[in-house]
Amino acid sequence: MIINRIGAEFEHEGVTYVIGVPIMGTPESEYEGLYGSITEIRDGEDKETENETPDIYCSFEVPVLPCEVKELEKRFSDLYQEPKTIDDITLDLVIMVPEMICQLEDLRECRHHPMVYILAEDWAVDGEHGNDSEIYTDYNDAKRLLVQKLGKEMDNGCIPNWNYHEGFIADSTPDSYECYLDGEYCENHYSISIVAQKLCASERFVRELSEIHKASCQLEDFVSQVSDWDEIEKLTDAQYERMIHDPRFPERLQNALGKNDYYWESYWETVSEVAHEFVNRYIKESKEMKSKTEEVHQ
């Protein structure tokens, strides 16, 4: 079997490989760290190798960073026991086994773009420079820290030393503050600002956040269950605090739920019930729209 149509899928040991999907070489491969894509998959009698796994044909991109080019050349030189340059290394139609590649998500698709807020500081005092930045997912958190940092700078930082200088210039907006000594900006200035930026969040990142939130909610449920139990009096305050923050509880709960057939039967029955409700609602809307259209044409 030969699969080479863009978007075509092939499943192997529970993993679905897709033609055209972006990939990266794993540490199990000489192409570790290189980016590329799957171009073809062969299995059965159409394989070129004797591997037990399917032949996954990949095309890799030439590294852009000079240090990565040198590392790749060294890796292949050591492998073949003779000097190799980037021009000597095959990057197209490389046959890989599944563990040698990691499929990546498309940077333009299947991504979430939540807004984050970068709190950036930049300063120079008597020619000594520095900068710092912190990222917040909530604007109010960033604004609160901006006010706190600026307040400290105005009380105990460089600003009091410049404030009475005749060349002192300051400007501000709701999201920024900047001051400097006229003619000496490079040597003496201070600025702090909030920059709103969209974050390209992968599905993996979203799943990890979801798991963190779910574990937190499950620990809260745990606390609500045991907080008024008489047995709790047998624990010290330190033991109780350690218990209600024990990260093993969410994992244990998930394992128990996974074995609870009644829970999953109830879950899927509820999914089906709500799904039917939505399907019927959209069918009704479709009929109403069709009826209105026929009235207009009569």
The band of 296, judged by pLDDT with boundaries at 50, 70 and 90, is: confident
Report how far apart, in Å, the C-alpha atoms of 8 and of each of 4, 11, 41, 72 are.
Answer: 7, 10, 10, 31
Give the residue-averaged pLDDT of 223-246. Answer: 92
Rounded Cα distance between 156 and 126, Å, is 16
> 3-state SS of 20-60?
CCEEEECCCCCCECCEEEEEEEECHHHCCCCCCCCEEEEEE
Give the residue-averaged pLDDT of 203-231. Answer: 91
pLDDT at residue 202, rounded to an integer? 82
Q: Tokens in use for 143?
A: 């604004």
Rounded to 5 degrees, φ, ψ at 7 are: 95, -15
Rounded Cα distance between 67 and 298, Å, is 73
Mean pLDDT of the chain: 92
Q: Is 47 exposed, middle or buried (0-12, 13-18, 19+ CB in 10 A)?
A: middle
pTM: 0.64
Q: Is a pLDDT exceeding 70 seen at residue 298?
A: no
pLDDT at residue 266, rounded to an integer? 95
Which of 245, 254, 241 shows the shortest CA–CA distance to 210?
254
Give the residue-averaged pLDDT of 82-96. Answer: 94
Rounded Cα distance between 190 and 205, Å, is 35
- pLDDT per residue over 119-174, tens digit each? 999 999 998 999 999 999 999 999 999 999 999 999 999 899 998 888 999 999 99
> 3-state SS of 261-276?
HHHHHHHHHHHHHHHH
Q: Tokens in use for 1?
A: 């079997």
DSSP structure string for 207-223: HHHHHHHHHHHHHHHHH
The band of 116, judged by pLDDT with boundaries at 50, 70 and 90, is: very high
Higher pLDDT, 87 or 298: 87
The band of 110, judged by pLDDT with boundaries at 50, 70 and 90, is: low
- The share of the chain scoring above pLDDT 90, in percent, equals 80
pLDDT at residue 107, rounded to an integer? 66
Please tell me the least confidently modeled range out of 72-76, 107-111, 141-145. Answer: 107-111
CB 201 within 8 A of CB 112: yes
Q: Tokens in use for 79?
A: 């492998």
